Amino acid sequence: MKNIHFDNLQETLYNEKLDNGLDVYILPKRGFSKTFVTFTTKYGSIDRTFIPRGKTEEVTVPDGIAHFLEHKMFEKEDGDVFQKFSVHGASANAFTSFTRTAYLFSATDKLYDNTEILLDFVQEPYFTEKTVDKEKGIIAQEITMYDDQPDWRLYFGTIENLFHEHPVKIDIAGTVASIQDITADYLYECYETFYHPSNMVLFVVGAVDPEEMMAFIKKNQDAKTFDDPAEIVRSFPTEKDTAAITERKLAMDVSKPKLNIGMKCTNTDIDGEEMLIQELSAGLVLDILFGRSSEFYTETYNDGLIDESFSYDFTMENGFGFAMIGSDTDQPEQLEKAIRTTVKNTVETWPITDLELNRMRKKKIGQFMRSLNSPEFIANQFTRYTFNNMNLFDVVPTLEKLTLENLKDAFQTFSDESGYTVYSIVPADKAE
């Protein structure tokens, strides 16, 4: 087992890649009474076209299947896995993103019992047509719930606008119609392809003894047999740099219009250090241009163009990326204009100086330190970084060496107006 000590953070991270290919990380946290464990596969909603394990022909599976599979993993022949976690005082959960499916629990007691339940339930699939059909009702209600959430519709509508072909534009849960096509056979096919240990990361953080825990995990894994690791062949359509749709409106029963501008990132075929630099730099640019201390924020807040709901964000994974800026607003046209003017001005004159860079760098370093108090943040983010060949603990040293040139390069990846879209939600009575 390797260990890496981060002196400045006073943290030690333990790591070992097991014989079956599973990557295990353990981070003990002093003073904590809970332990948080995540077991994550590099398989999300965008992985819809691939060559199934042991086959040669590419398949395209129904939309929403990764998320459906996540739900179905909790049901076994002898009942529901939540029940087992509950007996041992663990609070369990799971989530599916564009690129990952994570299973997790947090517990203050019976750490090994709970870890064993986690490892075993994720590694023992059990699907029948009957249980698959039953789940359709539950997931249909989940989808319907999101349909009534204006902020989710705004977020997803913007992504749908930005992308022509890339499956990131498909809702993670699929649609009520698409999930009807899901069968137990499909679930097994996806499971066999993506849930091999070599495509997964186990992260343990909190009140844990690293040596003992690693030995426990190894013993559990050694007792199981797995096929040899095989390369996963995923296929993605070619995506243009432009936005697919430049503007769209949706009428909903809301109290105030909502506006969101999406900006497509054009440099997405990257990973590792290059990705880390780009995403940190893009985040800093947005902080400088749109953060609470920015000229933009002061003016638009004073003028009532934005309110407390204002937010901005930069998202990227290998293959896709976008920035988003939005707010509830009574004056969507003026807000759109203000955002566009700020971006355009930045393209033309590049007003960002070292002064702002240094201030925002400090802010980001502080933010990162603060998030290290959260086992949830560490486990989830570390896994995401690992899947993109980055290391979460490189964040501070990388922030420290970023230059204005890095910021400029990152900004250029989403500064072309042909990659912009505007999505708005308007109160039903004001819709055209």
Partner 1 sequence: MFKKVELQEGVTLYIRKSEQFKTVNFSVKWKTALDEKKSAPRAVLANILEESNGRYRSQTEFRNALDELYGTVLYTDAGKRGETHIVSLSAECVNDEYLSEGGVLEEVLSLIKTVIFDPNVVDGQFDETVVNREKRSVKERIRSLYDDKTRYAQKRMLELLRPDSAASAPSYGTEEGVDALTSADLFAAYESMLNEDEIDIYVVGDIDEDEMTEKIRSLLTFNSRKVHERQTATQQTATQEMEVRHVREKQDMKQGKLHLGFTTPVTFRHPDYAKMQMTNGVFGGFAHSKLFINVREKESMAYYASSSYSSHYGLLYVMAGIDAELEEKAVKLISEQLTALQQGEITDLEMEQTKALLANGIKSAFDSARGQIEVFDQYKELDENFTADTIIAGWESVTKEDVKNMASEIKLEIVYLLSGKEAN
Catalytic residues: 70
Helix (H) or strand (E) holding 125: none
CB of 175 to partner 1, least distance (A): 13
- Token digits of residue 329: 């607003």
Closer to partner 1 by CB, 69 or 263: give it: 69
Q: What is the bridge-based pairing of β-strands 247-252 and 258-264?
A: unpaired
Alpha-carbon span 97 to 142, nearest angstrom: 15
CB of 227 to partner 1, least distance (A): 32
Closer to partner 1 by CB, 263 or 325: give it: 325
CB of 132 to partner 1, least distance (A): 11
Closest-CA residue to 37 (of 99, 97, 88): 88
Q: 353-390 burial by CB neighbour count: b if 16+ within 10 A, else e?
A: eeebbeebbebbeeebeeebeebebbbbbbbbbbbbeb
Closer to partner 1 by CB, 272 or 291: give it: 291
Question: What does the DSSP 8-state code read for residue 229?
Answer: P
Closer to partner 1 by CB, 27 or 92: give it: 92
Closer to partner 1 by CB, 150 or 262: give it: 150
- Token digits of residue 206: 């909190």
Alpha-carbon span 295 to 307, nearest angstrom: 15
Q: What is the torsional sign of CA 209, 211, 214, 215?
A: negative
CB of 218 to partner 1, least distance (A): 26
CB of 385 to partner 1, least distance (A): 19
Closer to partner 1 by CB, 169 or 364: give it: 364
Contact 423, 157 (CB under 8 A): yes
Alpha-carbon span 304 to 257, nearest angstrom: 13
At residue 80, the 3 state secondary structure works out as: strand
Alpha-carbon span 270 to 241, nearest angstrom: 15
CB of 29 to partner 1, least distance (A): 8
